[in-house]
Structure 1
């Protein structure tokens, strides 16, 4: 009999390790299979069933998919370790106007009016673009996780304070979901073990007046206990 399993696709830079650990703790009988996908192919992989669910980057074509936004990454400029932009902890867009900007074919930064002069040659991949940055050809704009993924000793990066962010989302087919997929969505959303989507709402927070009245009632009850009559004095 085939063991039940769930396949999670994830784009470069995404980090599903935390969710994979939680899944392994809760569902050791059903392996979570991790499958790397390119940013361009992630949504298609969900639609054609190559993966059951995917961590992907937005914007992308998500027709036929349900999408849960998860977080947004800052955009950074990858430069050589000696570059003038390393003088500060971060940069703004105006400081990039005179820079040659590398735009790989697999870029995931949605910044149509990005500053700088695009380099005519477009490398096929972000990894190839990083090599060109190291060779002094230009500056590369990527989400911070990709800068970390392609880290080199001769390169560094600086956050761009006014650049658009790079959203990451969870995507899965629209419609009824399998029990395993529902469980994984719950883990990503922070649902605790044993809880369910239909669990009761958390207790309403008390108002300041309700708290005061409760304290007064507690003091009064404590006083009654302290004054509870014992043997009378002679």
Structure 2
């Protein structure tokens, strides 16, 4: 062995990969993860909504913030929140003059319906269909900016594709889009359990979290035993003025005679 040989570097700590779809905002949960689990690197993996299921199936991520629903025969999922649905319009459009609209208000408008639409329509999208469906939501936004129709999307996507020449208004009776945490059920690891606790708002000492302090339960048992685990309290002898299980002794002397009552001052 020579003096020029280098000590091999220690292996990198295993990380956790969290996929997220456009519009999902993992920042708050990422911050909490890094505070609680500084030794487990968290990698964010941006994935199109239409591809996230395949990425999770193939092991490209350990869990994902996805748009629901997902295949519940393969994935476990926790709903997190449902977004408001809005219509994206040019700033000089008549819709921009009101606070909110209904689907009926859009009946005569051309409404773009991109191939990656994330809203679940019961029958068909509102309004009049465009001559051709754009491939992506980003393409549909460009068409709206060019004055070719409107676009109905979750509010987060309207914000994601913000342009100075466009605005949006709430559509009161449109379906919402729900964001959830999903992961392959057969790969529910300790790190997945930690993430579940974080997104559900559990504290670090939550009884259902993996990060629970191990001494918490023994401490509770010890406290219970100090209070009398059998439900019986120890009985005091002569100092209490009572015989164990008997009557007060203050009325008679040892010889069985009554003593003179003490004068009260």
TM-score range for the pair, normalised by the shorter chain length: 0.7 to 0.9
From 115, 118, 129, the counterpart of 2:140? 129
Deviates further, 114-123 or 31-40: 114-123
Please give the alpha-carbon distance, in whole angstroms, between the structure 2 residues aligned to 1:47 and 1:88. Answer: 44
**Offset, 1:140:** 0.5
Is 1:92 paired with 2:98? no
Please give the alpha-carbon distance, in whole angstroms, between the structure 2 residues aligned to 1:121 and 1:28. Answer: 49
Which has the higher relative contact order, 1 or 2, with Cα contacts under 8 A spaced 6 or more apart?
1
Please give the alpha-carbon distance, in whole angstroms, between the structure 2 residues aligned to 1:162 and 1:23. Answer: 36
Which residue of structure 2 lines up, in the alignment, with residue 211 of structure 1?
none
Give 5+ residue unaligned stretches, structure 1. Answer: 201-233
**Correspondences of 1:37-186 after superposition (within 5 Å):** 37-111=47-121, 112-175=123-186, 177-186=188-197
Please give the alpha-carbon distance, in whole angstroms, between the structure 1 residues aligned to 2:50 and 2:206. Answer: 35
Q: Contact 1:80–1:156 (CA<8 Å) still a contact in 2?
A: yes
**Offset, 1:165:** 0.7
**Offset, 1:24:** 0.8
**Offset, 1:61:** 3.9
Please give the alpha-carbon distance, in whole angstroms, between the structure 2 residues aligned to 1:176 and 1:59. Answer: 19
Q: Contact 1:53–1:170 (CA<8 Å) still a contact in 2?
A: yes
Give 5+ residue unaligned stretches, structure 2. Answer: 1-10, 217-264
**Offset, 1:59:** 3.1
Q: Contact 2:18–2:44 (CA<8 Å) still a contact in 1?
A: yes
Is 1:17 paired with 2:27? yes
Give the root-mean-square deviation of aligned CA atoms: 1.9
Q: Contact 1:43–1:62 (CA<8 Å) still a contact in 2?
A: no
Please give the alpha-carbon distance, in whole angstroms, between the structure 2 residues aligned to 1:102 and 1:139. Answer: 6
Structure 1 residues 44 and 62 mapped into 2: Cα distance closer, same or farther (>3 Å)? Answer: farther
Q: Quick check: which has more Rg, 1 or 2?
A: 2
Q: Contact 1:72–1:167 (CA<8 Å) still a contact in 2?
A: yes
TM-score, normalising length: structure 2? 0.72
Runs of 4+ in 1 over 6 A off after TM superposition: none
Which residue of structure 1 lines up, in the alignment, with residue 256 of structure 2?
none
Is 1:195 paired with 2:206? yes
| SS class of match (2:138) | helix
**Offset, 1:62:** 4.6
